[in-house]
Amino acid sequence: MLLSALVIGALALYYFGLRAAAWAAGSTLVLCLIALFAPRWATAIHAFIAAGAIALYMIGRKRERPPDAVFAVRLARGALKRGWQTVRALWGAGSDDKR
């Protein structure tokens, strides 16, 4: 549930900017919560979310990236790089300790 909201939000962030990403992620989370408490509608809601993700990709790939999206992607790449370096440091990758 949270993963789909993050993926839709990241896709919207990359193609449309921060404000659209916040709306897309929030509405996806609300739809997933509705699907959780109304199991009869769950299949239709998940199909709607999947169709929305595909439409977001198809429309977004033809547009020019907005400036705030480019900035946000740079920040996300920097955060992922720092996180990866932290994980490698914690796991001891690259240490010369030979016991």
Tens of pLDDT, residue by residue over 22-74, are: 999 999 999 999 999 999 999 999 999 999 999 999 998 898 877 777 777 78
Are 44 and 90 in contact by the 8 Å Cβ rule? The answer is no
Entry pTM: 0.68
Q: Return the structure tokens found at 96.
A: 């010369």
| Rounded Cα–Cα distance for residues 21 and 10 (Å) | 7
Q: How far apart are CA 81 and CA 20, in angstroms?
A: 25
Token couple for 55? 């439409």
Distance between CA atoms of residues 17 and 46, nearest Å: 24
